[in-house]
Amino acid sequence: MAQEPPVPIASLFRDTTGTEYESRWDICWSEKRTPWDRGGPSWALYDILKEKSELFSLPGSSITRKTALVPGCGTGYDVLLLSTFGFDVYGLDLSAGATAAAKKYAEGVMGKKGGPYEPQEGVERGAITWLTGNFFEDEWLNTIETSTGTPVKFDLIFDYTFFCALPPSMRPAWARRISDLLASEGRLVCLEFPSEKSPSELGPPWASPPHAYEAYLSAPGEVVPTDEHGGVLKEKMGPRQTDGLRRLLHTKPRRTHSSNIGDGATQHCISVWSH
């Protein structure tokens, strides 16, 4: 008897909430249904750190350690990449299957010569910590604070395929949490995807145009005007609030994965934010 094809990712998550929503990600990893996995690091992130270094206080050879967080890190490519710039990086994922995949991948590639994970010249590689936990809860954060002995704020947070993995109803909480976790002089980097998708289409990934990031990050924790599908109404966006993040850079990446290119043009943007 022919085996039935797997349920599409978007249909798998239809009308799910809470622990049921969380369990769906474990199903994806256990069944190796990870269409978001790009097989390597985000070169858009690499290029922005190299070419716009004036926006960042990179660790370099400084004895002062700087921290980075990659929520929804999946296989952890970008966790490893950020460590090459000297950040002590925390890769967080909701699924234990993702954490296991990240650890296995790291064991296979770390230390190899000539690959993308060699430290930058003159830079001491940062430490890497893998965490399984819910981004919106404190258990994983308490684990870090217990090990370091100090409250944790991150000097850099990288969001790619995390914002878009959240139902639109969860986005106010995402912005509030990002703002709370970002150090006072820290930087949030968002690789905005999928920019061209209609809000009426099922997710994940849910439509994530540039103005959606702007609306939520400009007013962390606040509910913003949306249509019946959760798409942000650009014409009804309010001004940035006093505690809102401000966008320092918004541009098309010079290099990106081939799946993010359509009709010969890059289909997403990369943005940098600060308090």
Q: Select the CATH number that applies to the domain covering 19-29+43-50+65-111+119-152 from these four: 3.40.50.150, 3.30.1490.20, 3.40.50.2300, 3.40.50.450.
A: 3.40.50.150
> Is residue 250 exposed (0-12), middle (13-18) or buried (19+ Cβ within 10 Å)?
middle
Torsion of CA 14, 211, 66, 131, to 10 degrees: 0
pLDDT of residue 3: 44
pLDDT of residue 1: 39
Q: Are 273 and 187 in contact (CB under 8 A)?
A: yes
| The pairing of beta strand 269-274 with beta strand 182-192 | antiparallel
Q: Are 119 and 99 in contact (CB under 8 A)?
A: no
| Residue in the structure block whose two tokens are 């022919």 | 2
Q: How far apart are CA 272 and CA 165, in angstroms?
A: 20
Q: Which of 127, 140, 48, 58 lies closest to 92 in space, CA to CA?
A: 140
Residues in CB range of 135: below 8 A, 6 or more apart: 71, 72, 92, 94, 162, 174, 177
| Buried/exposed code over 167-203 (b: 16+ C-beta within 10 A; e: otherwise) | ebebbbebbbbbbebbbeebbbbbbbbbbebebeeeb
Q: Are 141 and 153 in contact (CB under 8 A)?
A: no
The token duo for 164 is 């878009």
Distance of CA 250 to the CA centre of its chain: 16
Note down pLDDT in tens along the chain; length 275 residues.
344 444 577 777 777 666 677 778 888 878 887 888 888 999 999 999 999 999 998 876 556 789 999 999 999 999 999 999 999 999 999 999 999 999 999 999 987 887 889 999 889 999 999 999 999 999 999 999 988 888 899 999 999 999 999 999 999 999 999 999 999 999 999 999 998 899 999 888 999 999 999 999 999 999 999 999 999 999 999 999 999 999 999 999 988 776 665 555 556 899 999 99
Residues in CB range of 175: below 8 A, 6 or more apart: 216, 217, 219, 220, 221, 245
Q: Show me where the domains of the chain are located.
A: 19-29+43-50+65-111+119-152, 166-246+260-270
pLDDT of residue 9: 78
pLDDT of residue 36: 82
pLDDT of residue 263: 56
Kindly list the distances between the CA atom of residue 202 and the CA atoms of 10, 17, 103, 193, in Å, as whole numbers in the listed order. Answer: 6, 15, 31, 14
